[in-house]
Each structure stands twice: as structure tokens, then as C-alpha cells.
Amino acid sequence: MNKILYIVVPCYNEEAVLPESSRRILAKLRELINAKKISPSSRILFCNDGSRDKTWEIIKKLHRDNKEISGLKLSRNRGHQNVLLAGLMTARIKADVVISMDADLQDDVNAVDAMLAKYREGYDIVYGVRSSRKKDSFFKRNTALAFYKLMRLMGVDSVYNHADYRLTSKRVLDAFADFREVNLFLRGLFPLVGFKSTTVEYVRAERFAGESKYPLKKMLAFAIDGITSLSVKPLRLIAASGFVISIISILAAIYLLIMKILGATGQGLTFIAISIWLIGGIQMLSLGVVGEYIGKIYNETKARPRYIIEEILG
């Protein structure tokens, strides 16, 4: 019996691209159904993350016109990771396998065939990985490289050049439902689930229309969220820094004591001033890192829902 596939597509202010992306994804879904590779009960689930444009109106029209298209609307904007999670948890109720992809058409929809082939080989998670960054600017290419290296250095297990284009089986999503944290970084959480996984390469295209939802500022915030949600290594680095500074302080104290004995007390004023500024800066940075963790603990202890679904179509 053919498996039921759900393609989950998170959307935020995507009215410019949604008509074209829905056409391409729907064509692929019907192609797979006609080839008897998936069940006729397979669906596309567009998930609206509190868009301020006509995204939800377009999704409702698509649902009326096409039986294969469903829709989900959150009560307010909750961010890409939360709306994606809402779609995955909703799709797992009926689907045997779920593929998540963005609405901007940068993810090659034709890679779905290769993902399903890997799934039939026995893989429960298939990560879509871009094959090259040659089309990116020098700045974007190197900042992306720095992003993945920093994540790995900080102890976060993530797949290089993978965003949120992935296939997951129902049993993976059932296991993932037990992950209750409010601070989400799905790229780092799925490797923690385990199960057999592999990758599929694809050529990432330019955004079809509209503006990127992840400028540099958001990417930096995303990296910080990922690190502090999945690793305590920054706290250990603070402890190590404190130990090193303590050793340096003892050596400096010995040096200044010797200078005082030799009668050259005035020569250490510059060194003392620089040390005060340096240590003060390190302390403020350390407090900021600790504060980030405390803020996350605060959010986790309140245990508020990660999303609230206002409406489901189909």
C-alpha cells in the first residue's frame, strides 16, 4: 500500500510567491500520485504564521479549488520554527511521511523524488542539503560557513548546508512530539531524535519573489538561539575564561608587587587601566550569556503553548 505523504509549507507574508509555489508543489504531488509512488490521500499543508498580507485568503482559495491542498492558521505570528512545528505535528496525525519545505521556491521540489527513494530504502530522516553556494555573494557564503562552524564548535549537532527542507517518517515525528522545549531550533533537535538518516543534495535557487525572511540580524539571533537552546558550552567557556583571568591576575599582582619593591609603582598605571576595561568587558559579556540562559529557563518554566491553531482547512 502506498504511503500517505504530507508536504508542510510554512508561510509568512508570501502572497507574492504563493500562487506559483502552490502550482509547482501541487504538480509534483499529482505526478507522484499518478505514478503510484504515494497514496491519493496525500496532501499539501500550507501553514500561515499570522501573515499581515493576503496569504491566508490565498490559502483558502487554493483549498476550495484543489482537494489536495489543506491549510492551517496560527492565532498570531509565532516565528518560522513554531509554525513549522505546528504543521509537522498536525500532519503526523494522518501522514506516513512528511516533507517540510519553504514557500519561496528556493528548495528544489524535484528533490522530493530522491527523498522518497531514500525513505523506501529504510531511512527515517532525509536532509535536503544544498550542493553548492557558488551563487551566493562572498559575504553570504562566508557568513554561512562561519555559522555552521560556530554551531559545531559550540557543540550543536547540525547538518552542514541544511535548512528545514527534510523528510521525516511518522515514527520520527511521534518521537519528536515528546520534545517539549519552548525554545526551538529544529535543525539541531532532529539529529537528537536518532533513527537512520541520510542526505540528498539539490541546487538551491534564487528566491522566486518577495523578500528574504532571514536577513543577517535574524540569522545571528537564530544562531544564538540554536547554541543556547542545545549547548551549555558557552557557560563552560565563561568558567574557563574566569580561570585564565584569575591566573593572569595572580601573575599581574606578583609583577606589581615586584615593581613596588623596586620603587617603580607609577609604571603600572596603564596596565591597570587596560586590565580594568578588559575585565569589565568580559564580565558584561559573561553576564549577557548567563542572562540568555536564564531567560530561556524562565520561558521553559512558564510552559506556555508554543503555538495556538486558530483554523484548519481540510
Distance (Å, whole) CA 75 – CA 268: 62
258-267 tens-digit pLDDT: 777 776 655 5
Give me Rg for the CA atoms of the chain: 25
Q: What is the residue extent of each domain of the chain? A: 5-230+305-313, 233-302
156-189 tens-digit pLDDT: 667 777 778 889 999 889 888 888 877 777 777 7
Residue 125: which of 158, 81, 90 has the closest Cα? Answer: 158
With H, G, I as helix, E, B as strand and everything else as coil, classify residue 127. Answer: strand
37-66 tens-digit pLDDT: 988 999 999 999 888 888 999 999 999 988
Q: Is the pLDDT of residue 199 over 80?
A: yes
Is there a contact between 312 and 71 (Cβ–Cβ < 8 Å)? yes
Write down how long the chain is.
314
Is there a contact between 46 and 9 (Cβ–Cβ < 8 Å)? yes
Q: What is the mean pLDDT of residues 279-307?
A: 76
- CATH no. for 5-230+305-313: 3.90.550.10
The per-residue pLDDT of the chain, averaged, comes to 80
- Which is more confidently placed, 306 or 167? 167
